[in-house]
């Protein structure tokens, strides 16, 4: 018997904060219509841009690069204040940093770092492209942007921690969207409705998932992270924050 090929190629971020959304998709009948893959955010963006995926949970900074796209869900990876897992770390205060490594995992966090240094902190640094192992080179006047699960425990390692979600909120008064569900295809309304229902189902089980998921560190409180740092609802406030951020990204692309 030949297996039926899945009509929609989906790629999603592989971090801890996506687990409730993936749980909903995997336990839903809609999973039978998806060929699913997991990757770091920058790879999710690449696959969508190059047509290797039809649906992706992507860093929103990639959106201006797409000839056509549609955000198909009212769920996202967002924060209304401190996000905890997108931070600049260093041994010295930010105003004393001369160089900052830019995490290669996400374009959105890279652009957000640039925006905040320019507009909010008003501090000029030399940016360094990060490669695997770069966290070990954060020292002296060299800081570093780190995102995702690799940030867990770094607040104990570095004396200075700057949460980008908190800085953005203080700077703009708006929440922030780090990643959204995006398609480059015209999808049936019935599929989009089922897709969103599956995501909601996953989030509805968040209390149970918090008990089942292993904590990546004894000092990391999963309940606090999911409850007080990650905000999954793509509401009007987050859309305004996303528009504000994308205006900056579009201007940077022109330059």
The tens digit of pLDDT for each residue in 191-219 reads: 999 999 999 999 999 988 887 787 777 78
C-alpha span between 209 and 188 (Å, rounded): 30
How far is it between the farthest Cα atoms of the chain? 65
d(CA 92, CA 158): 9
Give span(s): CATH 3.40.190.10, the chain: 8-77+176-235, 86-172
pLDDT tens per residue, range 71-125: 999 999 999 999 999 999 999 999 999 999 999 888 899 999 999 999 999 999 9
| Record: fold of 86-172 | D-Maltodextrin-Binding Protein; domain 2 (3.40.190)
Burial of 90 (0-12, 13-18, 19+ CB in 10 A): buried
User: Do the Cβ atoms of 230 and 44 come closer than 8 Å?
Assistant: no
Average pLDDT of the residues in 27-43: 93
Q: Is residue 1 over pLDDT 50? A: no
Cβ atoms < 10 Å from Cβ of 1: 3
What pLDDT score does 138 carry?
98
Q: At what angle do helices 107-115 and 164-172 cross, to 10 degrees?
A: 50
The fraction of the chain above a pLDDT of 90, given in percent, is: 81
Rounded to whole angstroms, how far apart are CA atoms 41 and 22? 15
Rounded to 10°, the helix 164-172/236-254 angle is 100
What pTM was estimated for this model as a whole?
Answer: 0.92
**148-199, pLDDT tens digit by residue?**
989 999 999 999 999 999 999 999 999 999 999 999 999 999 999 999 999 9
CATH superfamily placement of domain 8-77+176-235: Periplasmic binding protein-like II (3.40.190.10)
3-state secondary structure (DSSP) of residue 117: helix
Residue 224 reports pLDDT greater than 70? yes
What's the chain's average pLDDT?
Answer: 92
Q: Report CA-CA distances (Å) from 85 to 10, 117, 204.
A: 24, 18, 23
For 26-44, what is the mean pLDDT?
93
Give the pLDDT confidence score for residue 217 in this predicted structure: 78
Q: Is the dihedral of CA 19, 25, 31, 36 positive or negative?
A: negative
- Residue 27: pLDDT over 90: yes
What pLDDT is recorded for position 254? Answer: 63
Quick one: which of 46, 45, 65 has its CA closest to 57?
A: 45
List Cβ neighbours of 223 (8 Å cut-off, separation of 6 or more).
210
């Amino acid at each position: 018997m030949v297996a039926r090929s899945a009509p929609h190629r989906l790629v999603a971020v592989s971090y801890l904060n996506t687990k409730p959304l993936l749980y909903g998709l995997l336990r839903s009948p809609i999973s039978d219509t998806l060929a699913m893959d997991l990757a770091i955010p920058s790879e999710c963006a690449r696959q969508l841009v190059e047509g290797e995926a039809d649906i992706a949970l992507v860093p929103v900074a990639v959106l201006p690069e797409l000839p056509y796209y549609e955000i198909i869900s009212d769920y996202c990876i967002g924060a209304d204040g401190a996000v905890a897992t997108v931070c600049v770390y260093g041994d010295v205060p930010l105003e004393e940093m001369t160089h900052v490594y830019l995490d290669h995992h996400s374009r959105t966090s890279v652009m957000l770092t640039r925006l905040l240094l320019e507009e909010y902190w008003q501090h000029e640094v030399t940016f360094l492209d990060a490669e695997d192992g770069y966290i070990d080179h954060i020292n002296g006047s060299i800081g570093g942007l780190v995102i995702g699960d690799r940030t867990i425990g770094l607040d104990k390692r570095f004396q200075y921690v700057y949460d980008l979600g908190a800085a953005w909120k203080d700077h703009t008064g708006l929440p922030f969207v780090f990643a959204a569900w995006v398609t480059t295809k015209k999808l049936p309304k019935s599929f989009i409705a089922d897709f969103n229902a599956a995501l909601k189902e996953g989030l509805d089980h968040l209390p149970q998932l918090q008990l089942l998921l292993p904590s990546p560190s004894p000092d990391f409180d999963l309940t606090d992270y999911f409850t007080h740092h990650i905000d999954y609802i793509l509401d009007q406030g987050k859309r305004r924050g996303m528009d504000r951020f994308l205006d900056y990204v579009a201007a940077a692309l022109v330059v």
